[in-house]
């Protein structure tokens, strides 16, 4: 019989981490991530999870601990939000460059200044080029399942994975979540096999200074230079899409729950208007699509689950029949437009897709986005394009722009 509990997103994340059985956990409290770290500390204290929970003085130290523990062969976990993630920035690069399969939850929150404890995606978006896989969850079940998959993905391609979910909207909201059997998780997630281990019997120098060109080491072995290492990371990213899809398919076969791999689709088969976004805003868009269908407008939704690697082939296939596209995103690349919009345009370049895109910047700092507002925006987009106004636009939704 299934174990279904009504729990918050943070509790779902903590349960997933417990099932993955990391050996080392380090986290520094920051709203709205704090409860996740607290629940994990309770699991360790009670003996439910056999792991070292290391108390640190900052988010920078938290990720440093995970880097060190992963280097010597432990499965690790950490979590943060907003300015805490920004404080980790240096070490995000270090974890990726070291090819360490660290799994971290980013409970998305607006960054300061000015201060906000509420949700948007500016924190994780600002770290998209640090070399981490980024997966975005749409509900609490997705959070639990994605974290378990994240360990499988990270340990297969040796790239760290950031599991992102919306602060308060998911982290503190209670939903029914089905908890998988621990034995099934063990079958899905084999023990971690580190690519590097440290031992007094086999001393090593790790992450020494790399030169620009390839050079022989002291044993006469030709070793990569800095640029060659970066190319290997990029090559691994190019292969990671297939790994993400395979992990999603295998998990779906075991549990009956399919979160879509790189993207997920809702009523797109005959859609003339496609709404898209990441995380819970894409879930809200499905309700808007239902309402638009009731008006006779063939609307559908494409949810972007993997922002890095960006699912170029999948979005080209999903959007190829659309006559109008409305992007709803909780981030902005200042001086230009939203990041998802830019990446969609780049993916469409060189294809037959010439569909106009309206980019809606929404929900920054937790500003509410109602289904009706998405419906109105989508309807305006379709009417504008039907009237021959086919230029791309960036619109701030529900924002005073005077």
Q: Are residues 269 and 175 in the same domain?
A: no
Do 216 and 223 contact (CB within 8 A), yes or no? Answer: yes
pLDDT of residue 193: 87
pLDDT of residue 402: 78
Q: Are residues 182 and 268 in the same domain?
A: no
pLDDT of residue 209: 83
Let me know if residue 211 belongs to a domain. no
Mind listing the pLDDT tens digit for each residue in 160-192? 999 999 999 999 999 999 999 999 999 999 999
Instruction: Please name which of 49, 113, 44, 123 lies closest in space to residue 81, comparing C-alpha atoms.
Output: 123
Residue 34: CB atoms within 10 A of its CB come to: 17
Which of 153, 188, 223 is where one domain is finished?
A: 188
Give the predicted TM-score (pTM) of the model: 0.96
Report d(CA 351, CA 312) in Å as an integer: 11
Using 70 as the pLDDT threshold, list the residues of the chain that sit under it: 1
pLDDT of residue 202: 80
Which of 135, 154, 188 is where one domain is finished?
A: 188
CATH (domain of 370): 3.40.50.920
Report d(CA 318, CA 301) in Å as an integer: 10
What 8-state DSSP symbol labels residue 366? G
Mind listing the pLDDT tens digit for each residue in 125-174? 999 999 999 999 999 999 999 999 999 999 999 999 999 999 999 999 99
Q: Are residues 292 and 389 in the same domain?
A: yes
pLDDT of residue 91: 98
Whole-number average pLDDT of the chain: 96
pLDDT of residue 293: 98
208's CB contacts (< 8 A; 6+ apart) are none
Q: What is the 3-state secondary structure (H, E, C) of 267-333?
A: CCCCCCEEEEECCHHHHHHHHHHHHHHHCCCCEEEEEECEEECCCHHHHHHHHCCCCEEEEEECCCC
| Per-residue buried b or exposed e for 85-103, using 16+ beta carbons within 10 Å of the residue's own CB | bbbbeebbebbbbbbbbbb
Instruction: Write the DSSP assignment of 244-265 as a string of letters.
Output: HHHHHHHHHHHHS----TTEEE
pLDDT of residue 288: 98
């Amino acid at each position: 019989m299934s174990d279904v509990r009504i729990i918050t997103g943070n509790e779902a994340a903590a349960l997933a981490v417990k099932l993955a059985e990391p050996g080392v956990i380090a986290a520094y409290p920051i709203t709205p991530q704090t409860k996740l770290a607290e629940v994990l500390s309770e699991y360790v204290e009670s003996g439910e999870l056999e792991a070292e929970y290391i108390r640190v003085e900052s988010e920078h130290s938290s990720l440093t601990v995970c880097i060190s523990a992963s280097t010597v062969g432990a499965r690790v976990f950490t979590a943060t939000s907003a300015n805490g993630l920004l404080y980790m920035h240096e070490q995000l690069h270090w974890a990726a460059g070291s090819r360490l399969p660290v799994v971290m939850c980013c409970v998305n929150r607006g960054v300061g200044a000015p201060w906000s404890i509420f949700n948007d995606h500016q924190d994780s978006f600002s770290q998209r080029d640090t070399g981490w896989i980024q997966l975005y969850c749409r509900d609490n079940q997705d959070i639990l399942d994605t974290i378990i998959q994240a360990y499988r993905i990270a340990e297969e391609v040796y790239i760290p994975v950031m599991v992102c979910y919306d602060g308060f909207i998911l982290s503190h909201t209670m939903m029914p979540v089905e908890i998988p059997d621990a034995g099934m998780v063990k079958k899905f997630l084999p023990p971690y096999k580190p690519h590097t281990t440290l031992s007094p019997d086999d001393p090593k120098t790790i992450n020494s200074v790399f030169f620009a060109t390839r050079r022989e080491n002291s044993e006469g072995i030709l070793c990569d230079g800095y640029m060659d290492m970066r190319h290997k990371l990029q090559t691994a990213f190019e292969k990671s899409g297939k790994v993400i899809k395979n992990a999603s398919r295998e998990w779906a076969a075991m549990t009956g729950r399919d979160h879509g791999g790189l993207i997920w689709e809702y009523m797109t088969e005959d859609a003339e208007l496609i709404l898209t976004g990441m995380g819970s805003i894409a879930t809200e868009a499905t309700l808007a699509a239902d309402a638009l269908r009731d008006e006779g407008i063939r609307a559908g939704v494409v949810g972007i689950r993997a922002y890095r690697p960006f699912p170029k082939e999948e979005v080209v296939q999903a959007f190829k029949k659309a006559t109008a596209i409305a992007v709803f995103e909780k981030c902005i690349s200042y001086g230009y437009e939203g990041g998802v919009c830019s990446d969609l345009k780049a993916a469409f370049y060189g294809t037959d897709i010439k569909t106009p895109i309206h980019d809606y910047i929404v929900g920054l700092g937790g500003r509410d986005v109602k289904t009706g507002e998405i419906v109105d925006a989508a309807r305006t987009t379709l009417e504008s394009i039907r009237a021959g106004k086919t230029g791309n636009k960036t619109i701030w939704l529900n924002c005073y722009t005077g």
